[in-house]
């Protein structure tokens, strides 16, 4: 669910930016609807203009995820944070620590980008607002193996809720993570988890440049600023 790290490179192409968010939107709104590379590739040659850019964004997300989740730095951070959450949740049958180790890295990578690139969150939402949620849903229903009638409404809600701004504050991040946990039918966190968020922020500041260069230009603004700060 790292919306910004997928999309902020495409602020000048709002439809491609929106396309990069589609797989994560679907994971929230309708997990039975999936975007698969082979299906998008089957159709992309028949698309043009805005629809082609949307499809290119979806493919970009899938390529990024493949590289990002195999990145040694990501795997190290995921493991380290899983261990820290496990100390709070020692039950070996509690599935939250590995889930949290994964998702907290993703969410806080977006926070790091927002810290390093002034105005990027405002620019991201402005670009997203230029894309029709109905157009996104219609294209997804042509590209995915199953259709949905819930995506357009969710995209509108995502745009208005501006959840990415919440990642900068530990208490609001805590609230958002508990919403995610409830959605996947896991127990909510208690506030003992908040110090782990603070530790995670420091780890992400140290290692975010390596994470980002796994999928993007090492001269990108966020990477350049992180290298300079480090």
C-alpha 178/C-alpha 191 separation (Å) is 11
pLDDT tens by residue, 36-68: 999 999 999 999 999 999 999 999 999 999 999
Please provide the DSSP assignment of 145-177 as one string: SS--SSHHHHHHHHHHH-GGGGGGSHHHHHHHH
pLDDT for 215 beyond 90: no
Distance CA 136, CA 21 (A): 10
Q: What is the pLDDT of residue 213?
A: 87
Q: What single DSSP character describes residue 70?
A: T
Percent of the chain residues past pLDDT 70, beyond the cut? 97
Give the least confident one: 30-39, 81-90, 205-214, 217-226.
Answer: 217-226
pTM: 0.93
- 165-177 pLDDT, tens per residue? 999 999 999 999 9
């Amino acid at each position: 669910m790292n919306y910004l790290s997928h999309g902020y490179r495409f602020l000048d192409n709002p439809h491609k930016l929106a396309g990069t968010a589609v797989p994560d939107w679907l994971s929230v709104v309708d997990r039975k609807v999936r975007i698969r590379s082979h299906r998008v590739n089957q159709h992309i040659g028949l698309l043009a203009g805005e629809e082609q850019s949307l499809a290119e964004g979806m493919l970009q997300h899938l390529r990024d995820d493949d590289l990002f989740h195999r990145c040694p730095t990501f795997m190290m951070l995921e493991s380290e944070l899983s261990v820290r959450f496990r100390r709070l949740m020692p039950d070996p049958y509690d599935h939250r620590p590995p889930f949290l180790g994964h998702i907290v890295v993703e969410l806080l990578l977006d926070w790091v980008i927002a810290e390093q690139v002034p105005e990027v969150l405002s620019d991201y939402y402005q670009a997203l607002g230029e894309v029709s949620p109905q157009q996104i849903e219609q294209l997804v229903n042509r590209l995915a193996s199953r259709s949905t009638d819930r995506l357009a409404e969710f995209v509108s809600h995502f745009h208005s809720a501006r959840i990415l701004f919440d990642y900068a504050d530990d208490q609001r991040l805590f609230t958002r993570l508990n919403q995610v946990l409830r959605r996947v039918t896991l127990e909510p966190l208690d506030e003992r988890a908040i110090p782990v968020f603070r530790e995670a922020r420091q780890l992400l500041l140290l290692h975010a440049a390596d994470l980002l260069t796994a999928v993007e230009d090492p001269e990108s603004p966020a990477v350049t600023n992180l290298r300079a700060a480090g």
